[in-house]
Structure 1
Amino acid sequence: MKADLRTAWKKEVLVGDGAMGTFLYQLGFPVGISYEELNLTSPEVIADVHRRYLQAGARVLETNTYSANAYKLGKFGLESKVDEINRAGVRIARQTAGPDNYVVGAMGSIYGAKRINITNQELKRNFDQQITALLAEGVDGMLLETFYELEEMRTALRCIRAYSDLPVICQFAVDQVGMTRDGYSIKEAFAFLLGEGADVLGFNCHSGPQGIMSVVESLDQPLDVPLSIFPNAGLADYVEGRYVYGAGPEYMAECAVSFADRGARLIGGCCGTTPEHIAAIAAALQGYVPAVLPEKPGAATIRQSVSVNAHEAEDQAAGAPPQEPTIVDLVKQRHTVIVELDPPRDLDITKFMEGARALKAAGADALTMADNSLAVTRMSNMALGHLVRSEVGVRPLIHIACRDRNSIGTQSHMMGFDALGIDHVLAVTGDPARFGDLPGSSSVYDMTSFEIIRMIKQLNDGVAFSGKPLKQKAKFVVGAAFNPNVKHLNKAVERLEKKIAAGADYIMTQPVYDIELIAEIKRQTAHLETPIFIGIMPLASGRNAEYLHNEVPGIQLSDAVRSRMSGLQGPEGRAMGVAIARELVDAAMDHFNGIYLMTPFMFYEMTAELTSYIWEKSGHRPSHLFRST
């Protein structure tokens, strides 16, 4: 006879299952239907998914009831079938699991990623209805997963405790900042949930392994409560009309051992994970002996004060002198360096401005700032571009994404750039909002990257997006993004040619980590007159290398680079990252005049060193013609 869950996770690390929704999607079931209704209409399909995860090595199955509450089922006209769907979900999982494995009743957040207009009374009523149905069929425990707010989690936990003393697992969906959406630190949230009777605390969804690990590492060690970790298989990419996840089974398995070392006693997978991922995790954890947990779990630190430093900047409009050469002019004459520095996620811009000054001193020709890259909210690059221009005296090159603004907002934004004298921009599609720090926000995508290039160039002709004439013409120099880290480079070049036809004046690539690929890019783009800036981002650590390779769409590292970075961290890791980047710079300068350096984690010293190296290698340091105002 199997032990109860509380006894089991004291003695061993239990392997959970993987994704249900995204796996059903892979099997051909479309989005826009209720996957929970399949408990009634196609129970054999759900049983088969459970069976695959068991055969892969899972010991704990989640019922297919994540969204089986009245509020969410009501979107499909199924609100009257809450009891039926939940009970069927438990029966299917229980029959598949057999006597030696565990079944937990899965309940997801009703608020979800986007706060909805529902009263606390309605929230409680929805939870109560689902809980009683799950408990009626005899689960081994309850799982609250993908919650963004502590208060909603506490409401659900209290509802469970009103009916049962079964083990309860509480999992948040958080980003690397480590805060709930209603403003609690994870330490505070864990303390409150322990007080409400939670047995296991943890994280799932929203982030890949590295994002969750960064939050786990921020907690006090050693942890005295078991953790539950169900990460996504990295960040999703949208390829040929479908969402795909890049983190492979071996990588997820390595991360699973690291989570176990940090106190995780239940480890599985969320979006993008498959039976193959679970099989690798199970194999990696076979025979793993965890540390002994204390008899009585303690509480994490309560309420930490957070100070926010505001920074006020004087607003000064500035116009660029017409005689200043553009980036395109420069790169046609000599090696030219663009350096990316991420806008801060906070209100304190002190370090950003320090970095901008250091990069100006190193000789950067332009400082480029992303537009909420990876859909993570950052300070306005328009405001920082103005400060970089007026206070530092380096040319700002601003990214503008299709994701965040409709056509009205985009034209307004471009008109603001023109008024500030910011005339260099990079048009990008932008990562989907659902994968960022505000996953409930909308992705606009009023225009494609091709269309936004054409529309910006239309402003240069003195014509508004609406087709109406403007009183003067803009002078934008528009760049386009190019990802060469693809299986078929020739197809990527064909797409690049379309961006050039739309009006792109220059090209900036995703980071490249392969010297041979740099040469191949040159070969396949030799017919293009539009200048290309080869992207090089120095690696900061071994973990950073693995994260980029396994979890970030559009970035691939060679086995040789990953091997050289393996296990390195801190100054040693950064030193090796710069050494590898120098080799890439050498290769890039042999083929291209344009070099695009990306600063990792605000370690601007790394890109400043590389910028200086480029001028040493080229034999001279150019005198910058750009003037601040």
Structure 2
Amino acid sequence: MATWLYQQGHAVGSSTEELCLKNQEWVREAHLAYLHAGAQVIETNSYAANREALARYGLERKTTRINRAAVQLARQAVEMAEADAFVVGSIGSIAAARVMTSNVEEFRDIFEEQAVALLHEGVDGLILETFFDLEELLLALDVVRPLVATSGVPIIAQCSLLDVERTRDGYLLSDAFYQLKEAGADMVGLNCRLGPAEVLRAMEKAVVPAGLSLSAFPNAGRPAIIDGEFAYKPNYQYFGDNAIKLWEQGVSLIGGCCGTTPEHIQAIAGAVAGLKRLPRINPEHTPRIEVFEREVVRFQQSEQPTIVELAEKRHTVIVEFDSPRDLNVERYVEGAHELYKAGADAITIADNSLATTRMSNMALGSIIKRELGIEPVVHVACRDRNLIGQQSHLMGLHALGINQILVITGDPARVGDLPGASTVFDMSSFDLIRMVKQLNQGIAFSGRPMNNQARFVCGAAFNPHVRNLEAAVARLERKVDAGADYIMTQPVYDVETMLAIREATAHLKVPIFIGIMPLTSTRNAEFLHNEVPGIKISQQSRERIKKFEGAAARAEGVEMCKELLDEAVKSYNGIYLITPFSYFEMTVELTKHVREITQVSSRASNF
């Protein structure tokens, strides 16, 4: 519906489904075009007419009205065309190709509300379509099945695949079809994402349970930008030829998804006219049914201890030293070497912090690991990369042997030095942590099995400078549940906050690295306190640094941190020192101080 209206030059606006109330003639005309082309089944314009999707446009209160109007318009079109055609109510995935949350149970009421509205208006069937995750589709089927128990209205359940063999959540298509039949689907199939050739290939490989009907609604190939607009190839004859091949696979309901026009449907109708339904013949070499386990796996590096393993045994120091904003890496390598000699266990490198452009932390991490033997901890922000870029980036880190990462949300692009840059945020930090752990299981973001398993040790950030510390800790617990192996806090500047964090997080079973960053001047202190999210500096600390300037102020900033570190090592094994600007000499001195006081305490404990 959406792609056809777009091709007709209609300004659809925000919600295609709202057209059922706002521009009804457009919807009727679309239905009529496909009916005149030979369609025997048409879908209601209700794919995303669920409360969550409509809420993005302030339409959630119109959910029932939109769904009922969608059925009415389809019925009117069938009557106007004098066609012998069925009207099926379309219910799309709520996740809709986005990263899935850990729990889809919250979707139950949303699916029920939409299904009740469609059934009340008298559809001939329901189609659950474009579900990338089998678990969500099974939940939708579990909700809808009891609603049609007495009416006998059939349910079509269609998966969408990122890979021709598996759903995104790791199920073989054969297993998905089996589970959908067990859950009560009358027909199963595929729609969207893949074109005719890939849908055909998926059907050829799948094992279909006996007695189960099949459907296939491929896209019109892959879209491309032509003359500045998205367009599909006009491959009508090809579509018809592939309809025959799908029919030979036992597919009895053949249609089209994104990009398919009335001409595509006409080609299908002409190709299969007069053909009798064929029985499904499964492939001879049937793949075994298998499902990947989804529990969190924490892989450890065999070559040397990780920062997590070290922190479980002794005081461990991570020093943040950000990559340069220019093209000169000599001073960076020098600083990293000095920090390593001072006793830093790892160097952590931010991912364009404050949305300010810096040299790639992957490149700098690779250099210090290869040339200096220093273990890098590379930050990975959600801000700059879409799902494709994120997986590619992580695969590159794996190839370079950089296995320790810190997942962060990232500051919005508009606050940085290129405010016109786009902010991506395809996923939250929770989602990215889960997907990193999925790579550790050898499963790609798409659900496709990979030839190896990653070994990422994945950290998460914690901001204690909030009004409600309890709520912040609850958010942190979610990150640990998602698979975070350790925590690094925003910098703290007083003992009281440091102890409050320790008490609030004592129940967590992962190491906490307490963040400490020296002040460099009173201007620096006021800027951090008043303008940088996630940082709070006490009045006492700001008054103290105000008495000094230049090098003296930096020296005082170091002294203030030494006093904090004297207390920090009593409660924390994990120390996270943050280098201000490029003054690595300051964190070199602080690293040495940690080593001196922890050696003293260690010796004292031996007596």
TM-score using structure 1 length: 0.48
Return the index of the structure with the highest Cα Rg: 2
Choose between structure 1 and 2 for higher RCO, CA contacts under 8 A separated by at least 6 residues. Answer: 1
